[in-house]
């Protein structure tokens, strides 16, 4: 979209077209007008958004929606007849939203602002998909599952695209749930080893007494119960990639053995007298600090030739709307459910929540919300208690997210208006310069006790 968005106003009433032209121009939009749907079809190329009446001569709003070509700009419908059924039918035919006449100027501007924000998120997702496609052309496969416009995420992906095609050892750090294994898998998929084995090992999940034999293998008779030779993870990953998750939990004795393996390119099974050569690319990950003496400094420098750090979700809140959009698409596809909308207050709570479990927790919350929602809207009630109880006051000075700050300010103004007018919603709506209907929606979405 251009910097000055263009709105095509379609209405058979000349006075209303002129009024909307003044309102929208004051809000920073460029305006094109048409008297009916047929005339509007000839002006679509000059529009980024369409604001269209439902009842018009020659071609009404519903017929106009049916006649829209592929790639047409999004449409917001207007209706003076208060028919919810007609408005819902318009949305079923592809309209983004609808407003009832008469309306306040701010109601129109707010509706268009929401649409613009949605389109910007969609455009950002398309841009990221294009970047992944370009990366796929160079490296063989896109970085799936990584969504984010924050500089730190983009820098991680930039470095990944440079190192994935080499056999350099990579250390991925970050809190639990930030996507460390996902990043490690992407490194393997984008490497020349992508058709060779991928072996993932969680060092914290295997008892210390078994970790040596599982990593390096053993010969028959090495211990009671060893009735046959056993390939360790290194030999299983020969020619491919070995991912050692939670490398910080590796016991000191095995750290020494791992260092020798990485230096020599060989492994020795338990009870064996000869080394076996292996060709393995090592990618490691940890949520812990790898500081001596708990972790060998020479091993650290061996595994961390390239260090990629994934920040916690609370430090990249601006990525949350994109992540929510991406995760909902993926979950709906996996669960075979229709794609619902997300209520404004639900998104505000997701933006404000600290997310100790990071992206994994966000995905689990969204999956739960999908299963508990009515299929058309994910409301606050579908969110778990720990998210619903997120403080709803004005965020601290360290929160720079425009959606979070805007929602907090809007909620505060509504609460002030309701207190000033002693709960009279009609008077509060007039003071806020929004429609009564819009106020009711916001009271519901924000969970305000009126």
In this prediction the pTM is 0.60
**C-beta atoms surrounding 348 within 10 Å:** 25
Distance CA 394, CA 257 (A): 53
Same fold, 6-117 and 397-450: no
Q: How many CA atoms lie within 13 A of 22 on its CB side?
A: 6
Q: Where are the domains of the chain?
A: 6-117, 151-310, 314-390, 397-450
CATH topology of domain 397-450: Arc Repressor Mutant, subunit A (1.10.10)
Q: What is the pLDDT of residues 13-69, one digit of tens each?
A: 888 899 999 999 988 899 999 998 999 999 998 888 999 988 888 888 889 998 988
The CA dihedral of 37, 41, 43, 47, to the nearest 10 degrees, is 90
**Tokens coding 7:** 């709105």
**Tokens coding 87:** 């408005």
Residue with tokens 């806020």: 432
Q: What is the pLDDT of residues 217-234, one digit of tens each?
A: 998 888 888 888 999 999
Asked if 86 contacts 54 with a C-beta cutoff of 8 angstroms, the reply is yes
Residue with tokens 């006051």: 393
pLDDT at 127: 62
The domain 6-117 having CATH identifier 3.40.50.2300: the answer here is: yes
Q: How far is CA 411 from each of CA 104, 264, 353, 364, 416, rounded to the nearest angstrom?
A: 19, 63, 17, 27, 9
In 234-357, the DSSP E strands lie at: 241-245, 266-267, 276-277, 281-286, 306-309, 341-342
DSSP letter (8 states) at residue 198:
E
Q: How far is CA 352 from each of CA 179, 319, 377, rounded to the nearest angstrom?
A: 21, 12, 20
Distance CA 182, CA 200 (A): 11
Residue with tokens 């805007």: 406
Q: Is the peptide bond before 252 cis (omega within 30 degrees of 0)?
A: no
Closest by Cα among 161, 214, 185 to 283: 185
Give pLDDT < 70 ranges for the chain: 1-3, 81-84, 121-145, 391-408, 441, 444-447, 449-450
Distance CA 117, CA 114 (A): 5
The CATH code of domain 314-390 reads: 1.10.8.60
Q: Is 240 helix (H, G, I), strand (E, B) or coil?
A: coil
Angle at 343 between CA 416 and CA 122, to 5 degrees: 120
CA 165 to chain centroid, in Å, comes to 27
Phi/psi of residue 340, nearest 5 degrees:
-90, 165
β-strand partners of 170: 283, 306
pLDDT at 240: 95
Distance CA 139, CA 254 (A): 34
Distance CA 268, CA 273 (A): 8
DSSP states along 290-322: --TTTS-HHHHHHH-SEEEEPPPGGG-GGGHHH
Spelled out in words, what is the top-level CATH class assigned to the domain 151-310?
A: alpha beta
Asked if 434 contacts 107 with a C-beta cutoff of 8 angstroms, the reply is yes
Q: Is 342 helix (H, G, I), strand (E, B) or coil?
A: strand
Q: How many CA atoms lie within 13 A of 245 on its CB side?
A: 18
β-strand partners of 34: 10
Q: Which residues contact 141 (CB under 8 A, 6 or more apart)?
A: 189, 190, 194
pLDDT at 224: 84
Region for 161 from its dihedrals, namely left if φ exceeds 0, alpha if ψ lies in -120 to 50, beta otherwise: alpha
**Tokens coding 23:** 């309102």
């Amino acid at each position: 979209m251009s910097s000055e968005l263009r709105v095509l106003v379609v209405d058979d009433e000349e006075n209303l077209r002129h009024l909307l032209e003044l309102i929208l121009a004051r809000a920073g939009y460029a305006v094109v007008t048409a008297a009916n749907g047929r005339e509007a079809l000839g002006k679509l190329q000059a529009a980024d958004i369409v604001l269209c009446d439902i009842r018009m001569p020659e071609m009404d709003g519903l017929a106009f929606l049916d006649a829209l070509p592929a790639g047409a700009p999004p449409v917001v419908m207007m209706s003076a007849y208060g028919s919810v059924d007609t408005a819902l039918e318009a949305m079923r035919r592809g309209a983004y939203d609808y407003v009832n006449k008469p309306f306040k100027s701010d109601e129109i501007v707010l509706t268009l602002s929401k649409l613009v924000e949605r389109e910007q998120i969609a455009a950002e997702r398309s841009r990221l998909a294009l970047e992944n496609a370009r990366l796929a052309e160079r490296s063989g496969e896109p970085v799936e599952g990584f969504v984010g416009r924050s500089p730190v995420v983009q820098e991680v992906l930039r470095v990944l695209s440079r190192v994935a095609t080499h056999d350099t050892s990579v250390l991925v750090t970050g809190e639990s749930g930030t996507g460390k294994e996902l990043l490690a898998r992407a490194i393997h998929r984008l490497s020349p080893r992508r058709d060779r084995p991928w072996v993932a090992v969680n060092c914290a999940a295997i008892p210390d007494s078994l970790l040596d034999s599982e990593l390096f293998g053993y010969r028959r008779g090495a211990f009671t119960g060893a009735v046959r030779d056993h390939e360790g993870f290194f030999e299983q990953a020969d020619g491919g990639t070995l991912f050692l998750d939670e490398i910080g939990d590796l016991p000191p004795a095995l750290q020494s053995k791992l260092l020798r393996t990485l230096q020599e390119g060989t492994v020795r099974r338990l009870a064996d007298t000869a080394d076996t050569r292996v060709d393995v690319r090592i990618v490691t990950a940890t949520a812990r600090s790898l500081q001596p003496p708990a972790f060998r400094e020479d091993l650290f420098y061996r595994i961390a030739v390239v260090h990629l750090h994934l920040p916690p979700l609370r430090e990249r809140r601006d990525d949350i709307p994109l992540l929510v959009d991406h995760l909902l698409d993926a979950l709906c596809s996996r669960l075979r459910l229709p794609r619902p909308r997300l209520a404004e207050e639900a998104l505000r709570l997701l933006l404000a929540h600290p997310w100790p479990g990071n992206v994994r927790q966000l995905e689990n919350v969204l999956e739960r919300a999908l299963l508990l929602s009515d299929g058309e809207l994910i409301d606050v009630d579908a969110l778990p208690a720990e998210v619903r109880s997120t403080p709803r006051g004005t965020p601290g000075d360290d929160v720079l997210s425009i959606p979070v700050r805007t929602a907090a300010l809007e909620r505060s103004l509504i609460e002030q208006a309701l207190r000033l007018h002693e709960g009279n919603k009609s008077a509060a709506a007039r003071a806020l310069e929004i429609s009564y209907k819009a106020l009711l929606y916001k009271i519901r979405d924000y969970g305000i006790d009126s």
